[in-house]
Structure 1
């Protein structure tokens, strides 16, 4: 699943790196730059989600997907979808129920200081809340589709990735984290590219961390 909002310049690079035999599902979240047409022309399946929000786009993709194991990846060329191959293998082999990518910047300035600080604060709170010793809440991840749907994720904004991890932890999932290369994104960030965007994301995620534990969604 590739949530997309005005990523016309990045799409060719991203879709060219989707592993052979995988289905690229681009969820257009109201783009005005022709992203949907470009994605379709490059062979991707396009899902339209008019309700704005990162979580809304991700969940629309999850609902539309049909594969047993599904993956999430940003559509801004900051992450290479090919890095998901070992994630999928680990889930299929039963080594983990949810595999996350720990972003490792490849160039100076790739990860703005305010975004990095917000991520660090949230992972520390997450550790206190769940006991998970994660270092990142990045978007590159893989899990089984039916199990994800069973988590009953409700956040449709920036808190969606964190809610997934929190509810998975509450349900006793085995969660793994592996390093992935993090590149300078193409175009301007819609979430963490500014202090305002980062603050909104932290607010959304803090709201998720305040939720009471939910004991559901145990993988089958």
Structure 2
């Protein structure tokens, strides 16, 4: 299982000058949080737009700049414009946002990049959806409009659609734009999720965990414009795309392990059972003992994958990576290390009996030559039963180690 390093919030601190901090903090409804790493070219226009939205909408709000170690004067720009500056020492997009969200004072938070690609003047749909009960409000750039040159064709027509499709498939939701960087949420609801990804996959983690914890997730149309920076963006297409994909698969053990494992085990079982009694001819192709051997391999692989899926699911619940479920609790109620070990031991014993019969048959020939194909038709099932039984025994102990609530 991939584990993301948690951000040390003790290294997150407000560096707003003391003479600008109010003695009594008024109630703040909205915090607009921008992660920042050397964004001097575009930071000022983003802050001004956010401040103008707060003023024009009449909402009680603040602009928070989560600075990730800028050296180009970004902090000075934010300070001159009256934004709150929160220094986040842990590096990474996710780390900056975790620190900024933790330091925000608003009931609601809207996060967005400081590269002038998102329109901070048009945040009212997010605020309205949050006030109406939404706990996570996602922007949908494909619905609102993507300006020419705002998104590379590879991202627009392949990366985002594919990753968003996988996100909907793996986690049963209807979010159209999984990776939109402009989104709003109830601060307390998102803090309760315990987000920990420090890189770009933070965007996926927020959506996945919100769906898993059954938060009220909504979507509103938003636009995307070309960013105003002269340098290359921090996003790296293949590296960050892989990190998003890896995160999605890691948090979906059913699709990564269980379903492929069940398919492999079913095909392997059919193959071994069919060929144990003799060869099968399909047209001009004869399936015999070699096919049976590969079917046994597929059966063993499938059962191993299913066991990986079970352990991964229990590990995720035990380490609070995701919430429990009815299936998990039913498994916990019925499973114990002893039951698993006994079942595995009996299966191994059955395999050993087969091995003894093989040796006995060999002894009747005076330990001489035997029919190799006939021998393998019994040897392969005996081997499979022995290995599966041992696997069940050791997996049961591993489950007992991972899931301390079990038996």
Q: TM-score, normalised by structure 1?
A: 0.90
TM-superposed CA distance for 1:106, in Å, is: 4.7
Look up the match of 2:124. Answer: 85
Aligned residues: 211
TM-superposed CA distance for 1:58, in Å, is: 0.5
Between the aligned partners of 1:35 and 1:115, the Cα distance in structure 2 is: 28
Matches within 5 A, 1:1-220: 1-18=33-50, 19-20=54-55, 21-94=60-133, 96-103=134-141, 104-116=144-156, 117-136=158-177, 137-187=179-229, 188-192=231-235, 197-209=236-248, 210-212=250-252, 214-215=322-323
Larger mean Cα displacement after TM superposition, 83-92 or 155-164: 83-92
Larger mean Cα displacement after TM superposition, 35-44 or 174-183: 174-183
TM-superposed CA distance for 1:108, in Å, is: 1.5
Q: What SS is found at the alignment partner of 1:23?
A: strand
TM-superposed CA distance for 1:207, in Å, is: 2.4
Q: What SS is found at the alignment partner of 1:108?
A: coil
Between the aligned partners of 1:111 and 1:172, the Cα distance in structure 2 is: 31
TM-superposed CA distance for 1:66, in Å, is: 1.4
Between the aligned partners of 1:121 and 1:74, the Cα distance in structure 2 is: 22
Q: What SS is found at the alignment partner of 1:17?
A: helix
| Contiguous gaps of at least 5 residues in structure 2 | 1-32, 253-315, 317-321, 325-407
| Deviation per residue, 1:65-97 (Å, 9 max, x gap) | 111111101100000122222212211221x22
User: Is 2:195–2:206's contact at 8 Å kept on the other side of the alignment?
Assistant: yes
**Structure with more contact order per residue of length (Cα contacts < 8 Å, sep ≥ 6):** 1
Between the aligned partners of 1:74 and 1:189, the Cα distance in structure 2 is: 14
Larger Rg: 2
Larger mean Cα displacement after TM superposition, 83-92 or 207-216: 207-216
TM-superposed CA distance for 1:52, in Å, is: 1.6
More helix per residue: 1 or 2? 2
Between the aligned partners of 1:82 and 1:173, the Cα distance in structure 2 is: 26
Between the aligned partners of 2:232 and 2:61, the Cα distance in structure 1 is: 26
Between the aligned partners of 2:232 and 2:46, the Cα distance in structure 1 is: 16
User: Is 1:3–1:74's contact at 8 Å kept on the other side of the alignment?
Assistant: yes
Pairwise CA RMSD of aligned residues? 1.6
* Stretches (4+) displaced over 6 A: none
Larger mean Cα displacement after TM superposition, 135-144 or 112-121: 112-121
